[in-house]
Structure 1
Amino acid sequence: METKSLFTGVEHIGIKALEMEKAVQFYTEVLGFKFLHRIKPGEVELVFLELEGTVVELVEVADGQTFEDGVVNHLAIRVSDIFKAIEHLKNHHVELTASEPMSLGEGRYNFFFRGPNGEKLELYQG
């Protein structure tokens, strides 16, 4: 069986949330994700959000659990105008890791910032 037919796309990207409501608010109000649903299949709550076909699963951090398996390296979000997107983040007092986007050549740019749990996020314009 070809790998191409076995692996067909990204189902979701899991990001741990220290404060679930703060994380949900950030992803929906600041970044424009759509709330899909919330479940609690065991001890931790899961919240599913979607942006243009990409699903993010916020995973509740319960009982002071640590991040032995990581938070996520980063989540890249496509934007139509990176400069306007950075201004939007500034207006929402988001932690930025740089002051200007980095040019990747040929009109492509990226810019890293932090989400409410310290997760590394990226804006990408291509």
Structure 2
Amino acid sequence: MGQINLFRGVEHIGIKTINIDEGIQFYTKILGFEFLHRKKPGLVELAFLRLDGTVIELVEMKKGDQFEDGVVNHLALTVTDIEKAVDWLKENQVTLLQDKPISLGEERYNFFFRGPSGEKLELYQG
């Protein structure tokens, strides 16, 4: 199976922040990002912002949490078929962080894996 039709583009870039309110203020007031939405799907709070078509996801970290993956938490790629994309990663012996895609509701799914230098990457279908 080829990957040529699976990967469509960058969905968003996840950036860690210790204080999500300060992060939102910085990116909107100083850098001119547009605030899109904020949510807390579990223990971690997220905020999505956009600048000229590029979306960042601020991922709030609790004070004292380690930044083991660096400050850039992950790069999310939009895919046309997440199941086929996961199969493609498996065929190419990519390090997977999950067994299968996770449903985010409303026919949206994500899946995390590692790049060759250990960088955290995400597949997103929605």
Query: Could you state the TM-score of these two structures normalised by the residue count of structure 2?
Result: 0.54
The equivalent residue for 2:57 is 57
How many pairs were matched up? 74
The equivalent residue for 1:94 is none
CA distance in 2, matches of 1:12, 1:52: 12
Gaps of 5+ in 2: 74-126
Query: Displacement, 1:4?
Result: 2.8
The equivalent residue for 2:42 is 42
Alignment of 1:1-126 (within 5 A): 1-72=1-72
CA distance in 2, matches of 1:2, 1:53: 28
Query: Displacement, 1:63?
Result: 5.0
What is the DSSP-based 3-state SS (H/G/I as helix, E as strand, rest coil) of the residue aligned with 2:8? coil
Deviation >2 Å, runs of 4+? 1-4
The equivalent residue for 2:122 is none
Q: Relative contact order, CA 8 A, sep 6+: which one is greater? A: 2
Indicate the percent of aligned positions where both proteins have the same amino acid. 63
CA distance in 2, matches of 1:16, 1:40: 15
What is the DSSP-based 3-state SS (H/G/I as helix, E as strand, rest coil) of the residue aligned with 1:67? coil
CA distance in 1, matches of 2:25, 2:56: 13
The equivalent residue for 1:93 is none
Give the number of the structure whose residues are more often strand, by fraction: 2
CA distance in 2, matches of 1:59, 1:50: 15
Query: Could you state the TM-score of these two structures normalised by the residue count of structure 1?
Result: 0.54
Is 2:48–2:57's contact at 8 Å kept on the other side of the alignment?
Answer: yes
Is 2:45–2:60's contact at 8 Å kept on the other side of the alignment?
Answer: yes
Is 2:36–2:50's contact at 8 Å kept on the other side of the alignment?
Answer: yes
Cα RMSD between the aligned structures? 1.9
Is 2:18–2:63's contact at 8 Å kept on the other side of the alignment?
Answer: no
What is the DSSP-based 3-state SS (H/G/I as helix, E as strand, rest coil) of the residue aligned with 1:8? strand
Query: Displacement, 1:17?
Result: 0.4
CA distance in 2, matches of 1:25, 1:42: 23
CA distance in 2, matches of 1:63, 1:40: 17
Gaps of 5+ in 1: 74-126
CA distance in 1, matches of 2:63, 2:72: 20
